């Protein structure tokens, strides 16, 4: 099974989760500035909401996918909103790439909110989630 992990992270929260997921599934976490260069069965895509949307870099990454993707598994770190799934799902629908119903989301530190998150429990939960998806 060919698995890729891509993420966008301004403050480092989503990067921590991406690296935990990548290690669990035996691949490398890369930023969305690195396009997919080969077909993948599963693309774990991580981001956080910024102004009730995902960053333009995430949108550009999705729009520029020109390889086959079996399914996308969304993960996100958030301070207020539950997840970024609805934002990326709309973009993937335009490309006819399915987004899995399963997703991982946890709190991420932002300003005075959620200090210390994601924490070790969040990272362990991300690893467990990734292993479940790929087993």
Instruction: Please say whether the beta carbons of 118 and 13 come within 8 A.
Output: yes
Residue 81: pLDDT over 90: no
Nearest to 48 by CA among 72, 81, 1: 81
Look over the chain and give the mean of its residue pLDDT values, rounded to a whole number. 92
- Return the SS3 of 95: coil
Token pair for residue 2? Answer: 């060919």
Peptide bond into 101 cis (omega under 30): no
Q: Please report the pLDDT score of residue 120 as a whole number.
A: 94
Domain ranges of the chain: 3-134
Determine how many CB atoms are found less than 10 A away from the CB of residue 87: 21
Banded pLDDT at 63 (limits 50, 70, 90): very high
pLDDT tens sequence across 96-113: 999 999 999 987 756 555
Give the Cα separation of 20 and 130 in Å (integer).
Answer: 9
| pLDDT level of residue 74 (50, 70, 90 thresholds) | very high
- Given CATH 3.40.50.360, say whether it is the number of domain 3-134: yes
The continuous run of DSSP H or E covering 9 comes out as none
pTM: 0.91
Q: What is the pLDDT of residues 1-36, one digit of tens each?
A: 999 999 999 889 999 999 999 999 999 999 999 999
């Amino acid at each position: 099974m060919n698995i890729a992990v891509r993420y966008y992270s301004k403050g480092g929260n989503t990067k921590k989760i991406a690296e935990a997921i990548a290690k669990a599934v035996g691949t490398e976490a890369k930023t969305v500035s690195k396009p997919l260069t080969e077909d993948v069965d599963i693309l774990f895509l991580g981001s956080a909401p910024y102004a009730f949307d995902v960053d333009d870099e995430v949108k550009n990454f999705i729009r520029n996918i020109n390889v086959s993707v079996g399914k996308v598994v969304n993960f996100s770190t958030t301070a207020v909103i539950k997840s970024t799934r609805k934002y990326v799902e709309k973009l993937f629908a335009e490309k006819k790439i399915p987004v899995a119903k399963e997703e991982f989301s946890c709190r991420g530190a932002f300003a005075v909110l959620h200090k210390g998150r994601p924490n070790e429990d969040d990272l362990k939960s991300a690893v467990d989630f990734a292993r479940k998806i790929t087993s």
